Structure 1
């Protein structure tokens, strides 16, 4: 079997693009920023779902949620799961000859189903602090030294999930506090964002431990390092929503041996469904047939600047919403009433009071990057709406979206109906 590189992948919870290297100066992320300065930073990279399990399953299978089957959260009471015939990245890499290792949280399967992912070792399940996970990873890297056999290390940090104080993280306002434009600039917003900044500082310090150990192992140049997240931060109008704050995510890749280095930016429009085929391509491992993502490895290596896709697509199951986003426009269709909640005061509520959320939302991202003005009903945007509608409907058909056949029944509903049928049968009627 031909030699291929090791893969070290760090995924954080609920972080969007809230890192210093993405222009957020109040965040203390020197390690992540240094990785970006020595790797390639994706600037237009989007999640397919603004919720943890479904987004991660897409990232690690190369399939859309309608195809891999996990459309919301795994585990009780949600019960969604990856279909049995779908192969996870860990399974593919194990078949390619890697040893596979899980450190910290994963959100693709319930704990009872972890064996199906075929990891050779599992450490830090539950919700250990990021620094404890990092210590385990560092021990693993140092114990291997320059062992040439490839490994896959899947590392998951829970730290940036609410309430942001996990592992003893404390609020961080050393460099001030940045309030996103969709949140009201008030005391509760500042407390929430300072708490988030403290959590991401802990994550960065944990990442520093891992990167130092990788350096000491002598395997920096022939290891693909990826730092990414699953969806936007847990704030109103971000996580759980198909606006950019919910689906715009960070991804940084470094692989010096293949020229993926130098601190450049990849500005192509990309989706996290493209992640698996890209990493396999970088590693020189053939991708299985049937993947719906597209490799952008050539762009990372600086060999091509050709667009990989014209649009990205996203969904959120609970509100039965679907989205198509191009570089210029975002169109969101709601097949049910959107969720309505707020955990901190938000300007979004003022926007709702003025215009509500309509069945179709269309935003011109060039003139309205915050997506506050719905232009779906404006005559001058009729052609754009029609074009994006066509793209969305065609995508939904291509993935056999169950919404096209009616409201989607959840696994919990199906379980309840199985109980009902059993009761009806025992009742003899």
Structure 2
């Protein structure tokens, strides 16, 4: 009989890699940093989408947004949804004999009951407001103390609202005690320092919540037999990050720790990876069969110290991303992108303007037309400021990456190849005409 570990997955809103263990020295994240020092940190891990629902849907179904149907935000007025019959990780874990629980938020559906969790805790409070990470962590700690004698493994999906705006959610105070880090794509001024100090306070609050869960696992004797995952859905909520396929929008943290399963020792995995592969990797690690219709593949064999049945597994040559914004708020873009170790190609399919960089967030002007094609040499231009798509020296790279991107769009039957993507709002509006 296979003895499977407990599985704990914490997902933060809008965090990217804004953590000490990923090089942001002014952020206080000692608990998450220790997890990286004791576990495995994935340094080159990206999301399929720089917005919440498509990223989470990809991570938890192992299927691209074009495949699972969740191409935009689930809540009104956008109302995107997973296709009927899509199987979420909670369904798969339940079928594998796990006790499945949701703590805090999810953003894969407007109806959490459809995800198949056996139990749900710390859901939204009055007026629909989410619970704070401290409240959610308190519920998790309470469960862990009761569960310590159980002989059935559990799957706990933990969703923190933080670090979504407003950064002072639940009364969090700014934190500039170690200074304030301003990314290169943001203008360093009084306004940016105030906003990033508030973000740093929010991140510090998340770290404290993570610490309380880690301590409860240790105190109740469940730490060794628990696969603990910490990750995020997409980048921080600032211009050129969230909502955009630039690296600050799609780069995300992934840290795993499982002392009983060899995910320990402060290892680093530097392979280029995508969260489309998270679900098959997780199932591979805990010895649960994966569905055959997945777009993703396991990267277990690439994790230092792990053995895998498929010894032929190789690092990805490219990862792909999608943003189906349309007229979403102040982000009227529709983009598809391919990223390799050295280059990034973004194609835009909707009229939009680009930011002047570095962006003055006190007045984030959108001036010039967004080029239809953007190509960046990430070795020379890691901030993606200089578009070389029209440079003859890069013609070969442009052709190669364009071919990869078009082939991916064809493979996932992306609706953008047939015209502007019909949104759920459009389908609702045109329903009467279709009946006619």
Instruction: Please say whether Structure 1 and Structure 2 have the same fold, judged by a TM-score greater than 0.5.
Output: yes
Residues 183 and 347 of structure 1 are in contact (CA less than 8 Å); yes or no, is this contact kept in structure 2?
no
Distance 1:382 1:124 in 2: 53
After TM superposition, give the deviation of residue 410 of structure 1 in Å.
0.3
Distance 1:369 1:348 in 2: 24
Q: Which residue pairs with 2:47 in the alignment? A: 47
Q: Which residue pairs with 1:393 in the alignment? A: 406
After TM superposition, give the deviation of residue 166 of structure 1 in Å.
1.1
Q: Which residue pairs with 2:373 in the alignment? A: 360
Partner secondary structure for residue 404 of structure 2: helix
With 217-226 and 301-310 compared, the bigger mean Cα shift is at 301-310
Q: Which residue pairs with 1:308 in the alignment? A: 315
Distance 2:195 2:136 in 1: 25
Distance 2:118 2:281 in 1: 23
The runs of 5 or more residues in structure 1 that have no matched partner are none
Distance 1:217 1:93 in 2: 23
Distance 2:409 2:305 in 1: 32
Residues 40 and 256 of structure 2 are in contact (CA less than 8 Å); yes or no, is this contact kept in structure 1?
yes
1:14/1:393 CA distance change after superposition, 3 Å:
same
Q: Which residue pairs with 2:429 in the alignment? A: 416
1:86/1:331 CA distance change after superposition, 3 Å:
same
Distance 1:339 1:34 in 2: 41
1:116 matched to 2:105? The reply is no
Distance 2:188 2:166 in 1: 19
Distance 1:339 1:229 in 2: 27
Distance 1:183 1:61 in 2: 34
Partner secondary structure for residue 268 of structure 2: strand
1:165 matched to 2:168? The reply is yes
After TM superposition, give the deviation of residue 320 of structure 1 in Å.
1.9
Distance 1:32 1:420 in 2: 53
Partner secondary structure for residue 86 of structure 2: coil
Distance 1:369 1:421 in 2: 48
Q: Deviations over 1:289-345 (max 9, x none)?
A: 011111111222524796331100001001221000000000000011236689x72
Distance 2:149 2:342 in 1: 46
Residues 329 and 365 of structure 1 are in contact (CA less than 8 Å); yes or no, is this contact kept in structure 2?
yes
Distance 2:212 2:351 in 1: 45
Pairing of 1:193-272 with structure 2 (within 5 A) = 193-272=196-275
Residues 16 and 229 of structure 1 are in contact (CA less than 8 Å); yes or no, is this contact kept in structure 2?
yes
Distance 2:298 2:73 in 1: 26
1:345 matched to 2:360? The reply is yes
Distance 2:261 2:302 in 1: 12
Partner secondary structure for residue 79 of structure 2: coil
1:183 matched to 2:165? The reply is no
Distance 1:23 1:136 in 2: 31
Distance 1:339 1:93 in 2: 44
The number of equivalent residue pairs is 419
The runs of 5 or more residues in structure 2 that have no matched partner are 125-129, 326-332
After TM superposition, give the deviation of residue 5 of structure 1 in Å.
1.1
1:296 matched to 2:299? The reply is yes
Taking structure 1 as the reference length, what is the TM-score of the superposition? 0.94
Q: Which has the larger share of helix?
A: 1
Aligned partner of 1:403 among 416, 428, 436 = 416
After TM superposition, give the deviation of residue 146 of structure 1 in Å.
3.8
Distance 1:387 1:5 in 2: 43
RMSD between aligned alpha carbons?
A: 2.0
Residues 329 and 362 of structure 1 are in contact (CA less than 8 Å); yes or no, is this contact kept in structure 2?
yes
Distance 1:330 1:30 in 2: 33
After TM superposition, give the deviation of residue 121 of structure 1 in Å.
1.0
Distance 1:75 1:275 in 2: 24
Partner secondary structure for residue 34 of structure 2: helix
1:156 matched to 2:159? The reply is yes
Partner secondary structure for residue 384 of structure 2: coil
Q: Deviations over 1:195-227 (max 9, x none)?
A: 100101110001111000011121111111000
Residues 192 and 362 of structure 2 are in contact (CA less than 8 Å); yes or no, is this contact kept in structure 1?
no
After TM superposition, give the deviation of residue 357 of structure 1 in Å.
2.5
Residues 159 and 165 of structure 1 are in contact (CA less than 8 Å); yes or no, is this contact kept in structure 2?
no
